[in-house]
Amino acid sequence: MTKICVDEQELTKKIVQDIEQDEIARSVKKLRQQAVNSSELPQAWLSKTADALENNDWSILSEDFINMDFIGKNGYFLIVAPYQINRKSRPNLALSAIYGKIHSNQEPSIEQLENLIREKFGQLNQPMPINLSFTEIASCGNVKGESGEAFIVPNGWSFPNSVRGPALNNAKEQRRRFLGSSYECIQKVFEYETASLLLGPLEDEINSERYRHVDTQVHEAGHASGLGFDFKDKHHLFQNYSYAGVEEWRADSLGFEFAACTLPAQEAGKLVAVNFCIRFGLDAHRLGGLEKDTDVYASLISLEHLFQNDAIYVTKNGQLALRNLSYPGLLQAVELHRAQALSLTRRELNLKTPTGIFYLYKVDIHPSTQSIFQALVMERCQGIWAKLQ
């Protein structure tokens, strides 16, 4: 039995390799072979994937993706389809493949978060997006490790209504990024004790994966709140990077609120630490920069609220430092994030027309915050990220 599984995994890796080498006919043949013999991957999904590749018709896979029927009984999955990413505000679509194994740590529960959304806002306008943490086995295209996305959003796939499917969080690639350049960057941007506090949850070998997963799950609950990400996407309300950046910041901040409601302050504060490591150690340094990139702008908005809340200051050495060096203190540092995001979400629910979002989703950034962000966050880490770009 073990030999069969090993052989199957090797064949699946070769399918990914064929996709990477643009050997479509060869990959279709192997997929059909797998569809007959596979004990790890859903045979119907493999057969449909072969049909989709052969006919360039990705609608074949839509329903199974949304229903998560692409995952085998032991958590193994293979997705082959065009996937779109955005770099410097430009879409990049490429045939991509990801082979991995889903983890079982899916807490807090979807039901718990959906009930919390109803409690906070009186309604839930879309199902909670599902975030699945996984370990990558093989990949290519726009979902390939270092060059692609570590957090694979569902609407990037070319399946109709793919936004209703699960997000996939690449634990292996996330860890590599955190412990690589982003780790070094956090140490440069923040003074020693603050950096140590922020990095602590990610250095926890036992719990780091769980912290990263829960952070992304409460973030997705933030997207589901208010009018809902699906509604905004359908009505083309993310017309530029700034509107999308406010949405990302809103989802972060509501995630902090949901964490505070479901976890002890010590644990909720650790999720804030993980978020800051993502925003200031990774997202702030994306190639699009402040005038093009959604995640860079979301990071800037977060820093603005930290200053407004008097939770952070600049040291004599030109580094950022938190005033309260504890995880409960870190949760207090984002009190303004939480209050503003709650207010913004309630206001969007009262809009008479969806385009009112364009008025609501404007954040005043103090010029000094932008100068600090550019000099002490972005420019300070340019040398670290230049070698990867």
Span 323-371, pLDDT tens digits: 999 999 999 999 999 999 999 999 999 999 999 999 999 999 999 999 9
Residue 312 DSSP SS3? strand
Band (pLDDT 50/70/90 cuts) for residue 50 is: very high
∠ CA(240), CA(384), CA(319), 5° rounding?
85
Q: How far apart are CA 1 and CA 142, in angstroms?
A: 33
Residue 208 has pLDDT above 90, yes or no: no
**Residue 385 confidence (pLDDT):** 60
* Percentage of residues in the chain having pLDDT higher than 90: 70
Three-state SS string over 252-271 comes to HHHHHHHHHHHCCHHHHHHH
Bridge-based pairing state of the strands 320-322 and 312-314: antiparallel
- Kindly provide the b/e burial profile for residues 200-235, where b requires at least 16 CB atoms within 10 angstroms of the residue's own CB: bbbeeeeebbbbbbbbbbbbbbbbbbbbbbbebeee
CA distances from 94 to 18, 156, 164, 291 (A): 14, 10, 21, 25
Highest average pLDDT, of 85-89, 201-205, 251-255, comes from 251-255
Give the pLDDT band of residue 388 (cuts 50, 70, 90): very low
Between CA 298 and CA 166 the distance in angstroms is 22
pLDDT at residue 389, rounded to an integer: 45
pTM over 0.85: no
pLDDT band at 103 (very low <50, low <70, confident <90, very high): confident
Torsion of CA 349, 350, 351, 352, to 10 degrees: 120
Structure confidence at residue 121 (pLDDT): 97
User: Which of the pair, 82 or 288, is modelled with greater confidence?
Assistant: 82
Which residues lie below 8 Å from residue 105, measured CB to CB, with a gap of 6+? 133, 209, 210, 213
Are 337 and 299 spatial neighbours (Cβ–Cβ below 8 Å)?
Answer: no
Residue with the bigger pLDDT between 159 and 89: it is 159
4-28: average pLDDT: 90
User: Does 6 or 195 have the greater pLDDT score?
Assistant: 195
- pLDDT range class, residue 89, cuts 50, 70, 90: low
User: What does the pLDDT read at residue 309?
Assistant: 97
Read off the amino acid at residue 58.
W
- Mean pLDDT score of the chain: 90
Give residue 147's pLDDT: 65
The model's confidence at residue 87, banded by pLDDT at 50, 70 and 90, is low
Question: Tell me: the pLDDT tens digits for 140-165?
Answer: 999 986 666 788 989 899 999 898 89
- Out of 43-47, 89-93, 188-192, 256-260, which region has the weakest mean confidence (pLDDT)? 89-93
The Cα 106–Cα 169 span in angstroms is 12
Confidence of residue 109 (pLDDT cuts 50, 70, 90): confident
Average pLDDT over residues 284-289: 84
Check whether 249 has a pLDDT greater than 60: yes
Q: Once rounded to an integer, what is the mean pLDDT over residues 308-328?
A: 97
- Report the pLDDT value the prediction gives residue 181, as an integer from 0 to 100: 80
Residue 384: pLDDT over 80:
no
Q: For residue 177, what is the enclosing H or E element?
A: helix 171-178
Chain centre to alpha carbon of residue 187: 22
Q: Which amino acid is at 271?
A: L
The mean pLDDT value for 298-313 works out to: 97
**Backbone phi, psi, residue 100, to 5°:** -165, -170
With b meaning 16 or more CB within 10 Å and e meaning fewer, what string describes 71-98? bbeeebbbbbbbbebbeeeeeeeebbbb
Tell whether the model's pLDDT for residue 1 goes beyond 70. no
Higher pLDDT, 173 or 262: 262
